[in-house]
Amino acid sequence: MAESRDCEPRHRIIGISGQPFWQREYYDHWIRSEKEFFSIVHYVERNPVSAGLIARSEGWPWSSANKSTGGKTAGDTEVGAAGGSVTTVVAGVLERNGQILICRRRADQPHPLKWEFPGGKLEADESPAAALIRELREELGIESEAGIEIMRYEFAYPRKPPILLIFLNVTAWRGDIENRIFETILWQPRGALSAYDFLEGEAPFLTALSAQAGGSVVRAEN
């Protein structure tokens, strides 16, 4: 009834009658790009937070955000395959116009002149998404939004304890990217990344990324 009363003046103005003014609601939607897909996923995962039902989307038990992080929220401790805690490192995959941002370490840094994705270690009481947002602010001077998790796995460098590597898609950011700590930063198509000398720990992710050179890399269970 409210719709009918609301439409009557409009019907008179445009000279129609006896038919609905508003289009019938339609929920199907073609996703036309990877960026649009991640934007929709982020919107859906944020719904419980926006509704005031929970503080963090990862804590909503029926959400894909919970599935991709194992239900962990800020302050959780990661446990390695051997049962001990491991250092968690988060990396961001920033994509623009079909190219991905890669960064080269300086000669005076650990693993000198190796290439990597921007990011770093989680601090106390940080979630992977919060840590990545902080790291991208410190390293590249941008305010970012971390999207869904793409991949995670443990890796151990020789004579070092294992680390847990988590790769997150970065859906959007504000500000111009600037190089604050690296030797060099470059935008490269994903198919060209295998030509660069990356950190050994990121090799499994690069293999998966190269295998999906024509599309996005998404966790198989999502």
Please check the confidence at residue 181 and state whether its pLDDT lies above 60.
Answer: yes
> Mean pLDDT for the chain?
77
pLDDT at 211: 78
Please check the confidence at residue 220 and state whether its pLDDT lies above 60.
Answer: no
Specify burial of residue 68 (Cβ count, 10 A radius: 0-12, 13-18, 19+): buried
Say if pTM beats, i.e. exceeds, 0.75.
Answer: no
pLDDT at 86: 82
CA distance 82 to 91: 23
pLDDT at 177: 96
Q: CB neighbours (10 Å) of residue 130?
A: 17
Mean pLDDT (whole number) for 104-118? 96
Question: Checking DSSP bridges between strand 119-121 and strand 87-96, what pairing results, if any?
Answer: antiparallel
Mean pLDDT (whole number) for 42-70? 61
pLDDT at 11: 60
Given a contact cutoff of 8 angstroms between Cβ atoms, the answer to whether 73 and 58 are in contact is yes
Task: State the pLDDT confidence band at 151, using cuts at 50, 70 and 90.
Answer: very high
CA distance 123 to 74: 10
Could you give the percent of the chain with pLDDT greater than 70? 58
Task: State the pLDDT confidence band at 209, using cuts at 50, 70 and 90.
Answer: confident
CA distance 98 to 70: 30
- Rg of the chain over Cα atoms, rounded to whole angstroms, equals 22
Find out if CATH 3.90.79.10 is the number for domain 71-211. yes
Q: What does the block give as tokens for 117? A: 């994705």
